[in-house]
Structure 1
Amino acid sequence: MSTDVLHRLPHHLVQEAIDLDRTDPLGARRGEFVTPESVVAYLDGNSLGRPLHVTRRRLVEFMDGEWGERLIRSWDERWMARPLELGDLIGRAVLGAGPGQTVVADSTTVLLYKLVRAGLAAQPGRNEIVADTENFPTDRYIVESAARELGLTVRWIRPDPATGVRVADVVAVVNESTALVVLSHIAYKSAFIADLPAITAAAHGVGALVLWDLCHSAGAVEVGLDDAEVDLAVGCTYKYLNGGPGAPAFAYVNTRLHDRLEQPITGWMGHAEPFAMGESYAAAPGIRRLISGTPPILAMLPVEDMVTLIERTGMAAIRAKSVQLTELVVRIADEALAPLDVEVASPRDPAVRGGHVTLEHPSMEQVVAELWRRGVIPDFRRPRGLRAGMSPLSTSFTEVVMALALVHDVLAG
C-alpha cells in the first residue's frame, strides 16, 4: 500500500509517529520478529503475536538435538522439568510471581476449568460463584457448567460494557456464601483494566477466593500477583507472549493454596510418581499437581523465546510503549476519525486501559474486511468494533498511522 494514504491524517500526527519510531528505545526489537512484506500493518497482536526469527532456528535445533538425537532420553534430561521452568520464567518476567507457583500445561479453557473446580472444592459450605456478563465466552461457559455440575448459584455482575468490573460491583455481590470470584483483569472488548489488588482484597474480606483471567494482561501490562495476594490465575501464551496458534496456557496457584487444591483432571503426569504406574492417584507436591497429561513440549519453545525477550526488555518499558501506542490511536480517532462517526469504546485514561483500543462504527465489519484485503490486520468484534491491538515489541508507531489512515480512506470513500 502506498504511503499516499497518509494525507488522510493530520500532518502533525504522522510526523509524531515518525519521530516516536526514530527515538523508540524498543525499536530495534522489531527486527527480531518475522514481518512479511504482505502485511502493511499488524494490529492484532492481542489475538495472535508475531513469531520470532530465533524460534525458527530453535525448532530446527530441537528436532536435531533434544528430539532427534536424545529421543526419549530428553524426558529425563530436560522435558519433565520444562513446564515448571517455563512457568517460573513467566512468573518472574511477566506475572510478578515467585518460583514454584506457575506451570505451563493445557489450553486456557482446560486450565480455567481445573482452577474453577479446584477453587470451588477448596471452599466447602459455600454455594455461590461471582462472574460478569461481559467476560470472554469461555469464562462464562465454564462458570455456568461448573455451577450446573455442582448445584451452585452464579451471581452475575452486569458491568458497563464501555468500562468493566469495578470494585463497587464486586463488593455489592460478594458475601459469606461466595466461594469463588472469576473475572478478567483486562476486558477483552474495551481493554478496561480492573483493579486487581482492590477486588482481590474485597473478595478475601468475605472469605472468597479469586481467579483472574490474564489473557489480555500477560505481556501487555505489569501484573503483581504475589503483591496482591492473588489466589488463582490463568492466561494464554499466543497473544502478547507470541507462542503461536494453539500454544499452551499457564496457570498460577498461590503457594498458600497448594495443599488445599485438588485439581479435577487427575492424569498420570500430575502424580507424585508418574512412572510408578500406581493403582491410585497421589498428587505431586506443589504446582506440578496441576499437570494432567503429557505436556506439549514442542509448543513451549516459542513461548520460552518470547518470554526471554520480555525479561530482557522489562515489563515497565513494554508497558510504557504500550501506553504511547494506544494514546496515539485515541488521538488519531478523535482528530481524524470522529468526524466520520467513529467512536472510541475504550477507556480514555491510559492508567485503566490495556494494550488495545476498540473503535466503533456501524460499518466496521466491512471496513475490517477491506483492511485485511489491503494488508492491514486488526480484528472485528461484533456488533461494530474494530480492535487495534498493538504488541509493543513488534508494532511500530508508523504501522498505527498507516492502519488508521486506511480506516479513514475506506470510510470516506
Structure 2
Amino acid sequence: MTITRADAVRLDAADPLAGLRDRFDIPEGVVYLDGNSLGAPPRAVAGALAAFADDWRRDLIGAWGSAGWGGLAARLGTRVARLVGAAEDEVIVTDTTSGNLFKLLVAACRMRPGRSRVLIEAANFPSDLYVAQGVCELLGLELGYLDEGAPLDETVAVVVHSHVDFRTGEIADMAGLTARAHDVGALMLWDLCHSAGAIPVDLTGAGADLAVGCTYKYLNGGPGSPAYAYVAGRLQDRVRQPITGWGGHARRFAMAREFEPAPGTARLQVSQAPVIGMVALDAALDAFEGVTVEALRDKAASLGELFVALAAERLPALRLVSPRDPAARGSQVSFAHPAAERILAEAAERGVVGDFRPPETMRFGFAPLYVRHVDVYEAVERIAAVVPA
C-alpha cells in the first residue's frame, strides 16, 4: 500500500512528543536530518547567552559565584547522567570528546599494568582511532582492531568501542561486549556520541567502566559544545588521568605546589571550564525536561521506519546500509549510492539537509525532539526528484 502525506500527518497527530518541536528554532521550509552531526538550536539558548553576557557585565569575576558558573561542570554532568543510565556523580562535563578519550584511555591502561594491548574497532570514528594510536605510541602498547580479528584476551588492558556506528547506525551490544572484556580482566570504554539523547543508554546496567561523548549532536549544545566523561563509581578513586591541571586539583585555591586529585569525576577537569559553551548546553538540555529516553527511542524508531518504507517505494536506486531491524540501529538511517555526494548537494538546494560520508554513504538523522513524520515524507519526495533513474 502506497504511503501518503496524510499518513505522515496522522502519525504526527498521534505523536506524544510533537509539541517539543516548538522548543527549537528551525528555518521555515528546511527539513533538517543532520542532527546526528549537529543538533538544531533550542530557542532557550539565545536568551541564556544574553543573560550570561549580562551576568558577566554586571558581576565581573563575582559571577563565578553569583551566576553559578563554578558549579556548571558537575551540574551538567548530573543532567547528562540521566540520559546515559549513570548515577548523578558519575558524569562530568568538560573538555572535548577526544581530550576525554585520551585521559580515560591512559587512565585505563594505568589501571591494568603489565598488559600490552589496547583494542578498538577499525570502523570507529577516525578521531577515536587517532587518539588510541597516539596513546599506544605514548605508552609503548600495541593497538589491535576487534573487527579485523584481533583477539580479546588477557593481554588486553582496555577495549574502546562506539555504542552506535557513525556510518551505518548499527547499535553495539553494550552489555555483551562489556562482559566479554571483563571476562579477560580488561576495562571497557564506550563512545556515546551517536546515541545519547536519541536512544536509551544503560551504562550502569551494562557494567560499563568508562565512557565519553559529545553534546553537539542529539543533545543540541551547539558547535563544539563541551563534552562529557563517565567513570563508574567503583573506579573513581583509582583514575589517574595524565593531564593534571589546576581544574582537577582537590584544593584549587590553596595554590599548592604538588598535584592532589579532586575526588570523583572532578579530577578529570584540566583548566577553567568553557563557561559560554556550558551555559548554552545547560539551556539546550532544558528541551529534554519531562521526556523519557524510552519516548525518544519510540519516536526515533518510528521516524526511521517511515523513511526506510518510503525509500523502498520511491528511492529504489538507494541501497540500505543500516540494519533493517529498527531495534538494531540508532536514530539514523544510511544509504549508499555512487552519486551520493551530488544527490545530497542537490537535495540541500531543495531544503533537505542530510550528511555525506565517503565514498558513497548518505546519512539521515532523526532527532526525535524536533523531526516530524511529515518532514520525513517531504525529504523523500524532494530526494526522489534528484536521484538518477
TM range (shorter): over 0.9
Q: What CA deviation, in whole Å up to 9, does each residue of 1:21-64 have, x standing for no partner? A: 12211111111100112x52100010011111111112112221
Partner of 1:312, secondary structure, is coil
Letter in 2 for 1:248: P
Partner of 1:180, secondary structure, is strand
- Give the alignment partner of residue 358 of structure 2, picking from 371, 376, 382: 382
- 2:196–2:218 CA contact under 8 A, matched in 1: yes
Which aligned pairs between 1:91-170 and structure 2 lie closer than 5 A?
Answer: 91-92=81-82, 94-158=83-147
The aligned counterpart of 1:233 is 211
In the alignment, does 2:75 pair up with 1:85?
yes
Partner of 2:384, secondary structure, is helix
Separation in 2, partners of 1:13, 1:197: 39
Letter in 2 for 1:112: L
In the alignment, does 2:169 pair up with 1:178?
no
The aligned counterpart of 1:391 is 367
Partner of 1:141, secondary structure, is helix
- 1:242–1:302 CA contact under 8 A, matched in 2: no
The aligned counterpart of 1:328 is 306
Separation in 2, partners of 1:83, 1:227: 24
- Give the alignment partner of residue 344 of structure 1, picking from 320, 332, 338: 320
Separation in 2, partners of 1:263, 1:147: 15
Which aligned pairs between 1:239-318 and structure 2 lie closer than 5 A?
Answer: 239-318=217-296
Letter in 2 for 1:63: A
- 1:130–1:180 CA contact under 8 A, matched in 2: yes
Q: Which runs of 4+ in 1 moved over 4 A?
A: none
The TM-score normalised by the length of structure 2 is: 0.97
The aligned counterpart of 1:27 is 18
Separation in 1, partners of 2:4, 2:152: 46
C-alpha deviation, 1:302, in angstroms: 2.6
Q: What CA deviation, in whole Å up to 9, does each residue of 1:121-179 have, x standing for no partner? A: 111011110111100001111111111111111121226xxxxxxxxx7xx72111110
Separation in 2, partners of 1:31, 1:178: 48
C-alpha deviation, 1:390, in angstroms: 1.0
Separation in 2, partners of 1:247, 1:135: 21
Aligned alpha-carbon RMSD (Å): 1.4
The aligned counterpart of 1:18 is 9
- 2:3–2:310 CA contact under 8 A, matched in 1: no
Partner of 2:143, secondary structure, is strand
C-alpha deviation, 1:11, in angstroms: 5.0
| Structure 1 spans left out of the alignment, 5+ residues | 1-9, 160-168
Separation in 2, partners of 1:391, 1:331: 18
C-alpha deviation, 1:13, in angstroms: 3.8
C-alpha deviation, 1:335, in angstroms: 1.7
Letter in 2 for 1:362: P
In the alignment, does 2:45 pair up with 1:55?
yes
